[in-house]
């Protein structure tokens, strides 16, 4: 007889506790839930997996039943999984959550956020539950954003013009978040040491004219302010500077 492709779960007691229609509804929600749900015994053998989870992994459900869950991870994360199982068994009231890489049947790696827990009302724990959320898209987006940020910083560092990048924070203040060596050379101060400070704390005399309001105008309209001349004087600076202001994003 061909093994069933349905999850191998102990449904006898569950069926006895609720009407069939309600049971079927919850079973359908479990099988089709977009996250990967896996239940293992204390030896790490898979006792149940939802259908959509098996599909995400590239398996039929029956292929996974009684296989060891560690086979679904890259080697270093397989070791971590074993340690996490021991952790929740020693701390049954707690959950453990980590980011790691799983393996599909074709050995393709993908990122997941894993949550592992035990049933809180079990006096004798004999099963461990896993929920895996595929976060590959987010991880790739983070990597791309980091790469883009590094590329932009490389452009800043190569520019002969002094560049100061500000972020508009939740309090409505412009906070210095990046600069370049040319700014240090032009202003003759360590501008890097001023990162995370407000623009008015770095250039207090700007409060005496309308320049900061012009910065906010660029943020609000998106229209750049180009090739402006400014005579600026405080205890650190004294001179005429040409500057431009451009919007990079909604807050920078």
CATH number, domain at 228? Answer: 3.30.450.20
Give 227-238 pLDDT, tens digit per residue. 888 888 877 777
36 in Cβ contact with 49 (< 8 Å): yes
pTM for this structure? 0.59
3-state secondary structure of 102: strand
Query: Do residue 101 and residue 167 come from a single domain?
Result: no
Give 160-195 pLDDT, tens digit per residue. 988 888 988 888 889 999 898 998 888 888 989 999
**Any idea what the Cα angle at residue 246 is, between residues 244 and 250, rounded to 5°?**
155
Query: Do residue 131 and residue 80 come from a single domain?
Result: yes
Query: Do residue 50 and residue 121 come from a single domain?
Result: yes
Q: What is the pLDDT of residue 228?
A: 85
C-beta pairs of 87-95 under 8 Å, 24+ apart in sequence: 88/116, 88/117, 88/118, 88/128, 89/42, 89/118, 89/125, 89/128, 92/118, 92/120, 92/122, 92/125, 93/120
Query: Do residue 133 and residue 16 come from a single domain?
Result: yes
Q: What is the pLDDT of residue 61?
A: 95
Residues forming beta bridges with residue 68, ordered by sequence position: 45
Q: What is the pLDDT of residue 17?
A: 63
244 in Cβ contact with 228 (< 8 Å): yes
Other CB atoms within 10 Å distance of the CB of residue 135: 16
Query: Do residue 45 and residue 132 come from a single domain?
Result: yes
Give 91-150 pLDDT, tens digit per residue. 888 888 899 999 999 999 999 999 998 876 556 778 999 999 999 999 888 888 888 778
- Is 3 part of a structural domain of the chain? no
C-beta pairs of 187-194 under 8 Å, 24+ apart in sequence: 187/162, 187/237, 189/236, 191/164
Query: Do residue 168 and residue 65 come from a single domain?
Result: no
- Is 148 part of a structural domain of the chain? no
Domain boundary among 137, 170, 185: 137
Query: Do residue 17 and residue 127 come from a single domain?
Result: yes
- Is 95 part of a structural domain of the chain? yes
Query: Do residue 16 and residue 69 come from a single domain?
Result: yes
Query: Do residue 28 and residue 132 come from a single domain?
Result: yes
Query: Do residue 43 and residue 82 come from a single domain?
Result: yes
* Number of domains observed in the structure of the chain: 2
Q: Compute φ and ψ for 100, nearest 5 degrees.
A: -160, 180
Q: What is the pLDDT of residue 1?
A: 39
Domain span at residue 178?
A: 156-245
């Amino acid at each position: 007889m061909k093994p069933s492709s349905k999850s191998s779960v102990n449904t006898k007691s569950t069926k006895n506790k609720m009407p069939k229609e309600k049971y079927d509804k919850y079973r359908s929600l479990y099988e089709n839930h977009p996250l990967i749900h896996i239940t293992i015994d204390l030896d790490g053998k898979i006792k149940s997996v939802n259908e959509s989870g098996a599909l995400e992994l590239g398996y039929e459900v029956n292929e996974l039943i009684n296989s060891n869950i560690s086979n679904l991870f890259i080697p270093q994360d397989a070791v971590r999984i074993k340690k996490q199982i021991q952790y929740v068994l020693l701390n049954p009231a707690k959950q453990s959550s980590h980011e790691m890489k799983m393996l599909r049947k074709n050995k393709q790696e993908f990122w997941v956020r894993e949550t592992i827990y035990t049933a809180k009302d079990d006096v004798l724990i004999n099963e461990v539950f896993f929920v895996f959320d595929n976060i590959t898209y987010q991880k790739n987006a983070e990597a791309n954003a980091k790469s883009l940020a590094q590329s932009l910083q490389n452009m800043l560092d190569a520019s002969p013009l002094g560049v100061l990048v500000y972020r508009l924070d939740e309090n409505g203040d412009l906070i210095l978040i990046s600069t370049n060596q040319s700014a240090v050379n032009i202003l003759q101060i360590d501008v890097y040491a001023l990162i995370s400070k407000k623009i008015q704390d770095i250039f207090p005399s700007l409060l005496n004219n309308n320049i900061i309001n012009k910065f906010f105008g660029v943020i609000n309209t998106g229209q750049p302010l180009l090739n402006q001349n400014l005579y600026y004087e405080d205890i650190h600076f004294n001179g005429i500077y040409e500057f431009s202001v451009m919007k990079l994003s909604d807050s920078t």
